[in-house]
Chains A and B, each alone.
Chain A
């Protein structure tokens, strides 16, 4: 593509995204650049990306690779005084150009390819998606058998295939089992929900996934979706309605909070000092701050401490926006990855356990524990894991 075509493609895409009319209202204040966990590492901050696109030098931005450093943490978008959808539009549309030009970072290109072929980024067979249910000591109902359930539980790719994240899926399923929740899973009919695909600029693939997923949803009778995957939650809540999906979507932190009275009756004691990490797509993007805190604080014996960067100001784990697929690319550009700074902070406030509520966080932070040498001192757990532990301790 020549620059003219690139710009045309860019604006065509931008114009499809809600609020992107604000794009031309950028006042060049730099809030975005200063807020970005990667602002230090890149020449083109979101501010300069906007400026460059408007100056017609979009090719220079693409060459810098800056578009691939965004982890979609949403900090810039939340703080932007012009409410420009930087995370949802400005950056993904640049990434789309980069994809069309055929030069995305390798890891990422592979992940996208896998999703297209297998419906998951792990290059795993779709038939193995429900393997995890054979690894638990209770029965996990399939909606194809049950036909009707109150909650449809979406595990999403990480929750279904990733060695560590699978444990979170099991823990949450167990909690629903203990609570007697009327739920079911899609099993092998489930496919990538695609929020990261969207944020990576593969809009075509995202649309395709959304349409296919909705067709599957329509086969069954259920009233709500519940998921422990923050990105699946975000896409189902904010993006899927555009494709005709209109059901209620509940994040597992909200689900646990709604069942807190019942859970309290089952709790035993835990002797931990716990801190909570607000994941970008639970907290900052979707405003769920208090529910997870209330649930953790309700566990007898737990001492709850806050880190400094909390709620709106929480630091990103670095996994979102395709960050999990960009690790080596990002490593070349910055000194310390945010996940490393985050676990240090958790340790510095005296926590034994860092609780999160987004599947991506757990492997990101566990990696960071190794790099920082905090392994053994600090543990990382999803909220459903610590709740289950509290119950099993009774």
Chain B
């Protein structure tokens, strides 16, 4: 005997304003099998849930329907209520009359009619629902972190200190990420290297961290609690286990002078084929650029480096190596890359010598950078006037729509540092100053009081074409003219400067794209990894066991990056502490009798859960790994033999639901 209870939620006024709840209750009562139907202000509240618990016991209900908000929000709440009353939670189902009805239907009558149909549809389908059992699986306590910027480093240390074994995989030869390139950090102006270097060395020294630099994740298989990871490491031709970081090889390289643009110095510093990106690098081990090294490219070098290396660390036979290991959870911290300003030709990057990106200036300001901390023009002079252009590539529908969040603050920081180092007059050209953060507005004030000019207007273009004699003289001195509408003054201004700094925005790093593919993670339209919920699950992803932190999720500053990294570490700890996890039972399964082995489903599964296997009779049959299946239903719909079915979404259940919706 079916005994159904139906509960209609008002959701305060969210639902009740648009839907005549009483009418829906009366309608529900008229449906076959319904024993009780009630409404309540907030079904998700404790008294609301208690209604269900009490009714199950009192009336012997064996099916429950709640018409309220999206199941994304409260399915779990009501399933638990059923469980508390001793009812198998999979005999419950929700009708979404808020997002799908009250919020999107103007007319109250129509909304009420729609709500009735939703309720009837769900009442129809619960009748067919069966009891299901939740499976369990063990969790591997090791963790993989992808990306060794400040996000990856912070998460790794937090986890390792808690006794968790961490594999930290970094693409470039050293960890540190973008933060390692800065001289000072806003708003406190503390020295970036001083706060970052100790963390980098602890990563190297920590017994619980396996550090794999110059490495990339090749593939990841498995599911929450049980991921199998393959990592590939590029040959650096210097053995990490032997090298002492003495720099002798670099000094004695066939190339006596560094002449190749250094990646770490954003192209303004030079390096040799054998080099260490920066003095605080971790690991402090050189690497040889295979394309530039005379021995590796043409065998035309006596290999001085090899000769002088006492610990015999140079090894030209090093090959690409792969490592395999298992982990239970993953943190993605692949960070960002700066916007390429040559896409905006009117700013003259790559055309005029003295137009630089902000990151290049960060390198100049660094005492271990290419100019030893001085801000210099291409010809070695100190600039007397500098323009800093905000929002380059950000807040712009032609490039990136979003605000890159950190540029205002770092532009203010750069204004301060440039003025301090060179004594130059500095002009910041901005659209809005966004200084929201602890002590940020105060920092802006401080830099204002140092005499930096702030001109409100987005620079139209940078040119070396003079418009009058006065400008001709400026251009002769090597100056560029910044043209802007000073929107507060209501005038077009043409300001001659020696140097232009482009405050480039942030974009997802190149490495993110590959990780997105390997992990099948979803991204926002702009390419940042998407969090499960923007407010309530900011470091989780839609895939269980995979977390995100730092700029991989979107532009943010260091304090926020570190907060996220530690939050992600907390989430990971909470997961692996459980020891085992429950598996959602609404997954797909194959009817081996009906399956023809055509394999259509295999490539369609977004979670790689399906494989073709030989059965006892030597026939190919598809098989679904219950731990991998996320219950998306793609294969169910695709199977030409109707051999795949899904718990909680059987054909009969769905047809009953449709019938409930469309019947007059």
**A residues within 8 Å of B by Cβ?**
27-35, 39-40, 43, 45, 47-48, 78-79, 81-83, 308-309, 311-313, 336, 341, 345
Contacts and interface: CB of A to CB of B under 8 A. Distances in A.
A322 B490 CA distance: 26
A309 B459 contact: no
Given A34-B459, A34-B484, A308-B465, A313 B345 contact: yes
A354 B456 CA distance: 38
Interface of B: 345-346, 391, 395-398, 431, 456-461, 463-465, 467, 483-487, 490, 492
A336 B457 CA distance: 24
A79 B346 contact: yes
Contact of B483 (A32, A34, A311): A34
B345 A312 contact: yes
B492 to A, nearest CB: 5
A30 B458 CA distance: 6
Contact of B485 (A30, A78, A82, A309): A30
A359 B458 CA distance: 34
Contacts of A82: 397
Nearest to A45: B485
B583 to A, nearest CB: 46
Contacts of A313: 345-346, 461
A33 B398 contact: no
> Majority SS of interface residues in chain B?
loop
B465 A45 contact: no
A311 B346 contact: no
Contacts of A34: 457-461, 483-485, 492
A311 B351 CA distance: 14
A141 B490 CA distance: 56
Contact of B487 (A43, A47, A336, A345): A47
Contacts of B485: 30-34, 39, 45, 47
A311 B487 CA distance: 27
B342 to A, nearest CB: 12
A45 B458 contact: no
A345 B465 contact: yes
Nearest to A345: B465
B465 A30 contact: no
| Max chain A Cβ within 10 angstroms of own Cβ: one of B391, B490, B492 | B492
Contacts of B490: 43, 48
Contacts of A78: 398
B397 A30 contact: no
The 4 closest A-B pairs by CB, nearest first: A34-B460, A30-B485, A33-B485, A29-B458
| Max chain B Cβ within 10 angstroms of own Cβ: one of A29, A40, A83 | A29
Nearest to B468: A335
Nearest to A83: B397
A219 B587 CA distance: 63
Contacts of B456: 30
A81 B492 contact: no
A45 B464 CA distance: 23
B487 A28 contact: yes
Nearest to B456: A30
B502 to A, nearest CB: 15
Given A47-B487, A309-B465, A31 B492 contact: no
Nearest to B400: A81
A81 B483 contact: no
B398 A83 contact: yes
Nearest to B430: A29
A39 to B, nearest CB: 5
| Max chain A Cβ within 10 angstroms of own Cβ: one of B346, B398, B486 | B346
7 contacts: A29-B431, A31-B458, A34-B485, A81-B396, A81-B398, A308-B464, A309-B465
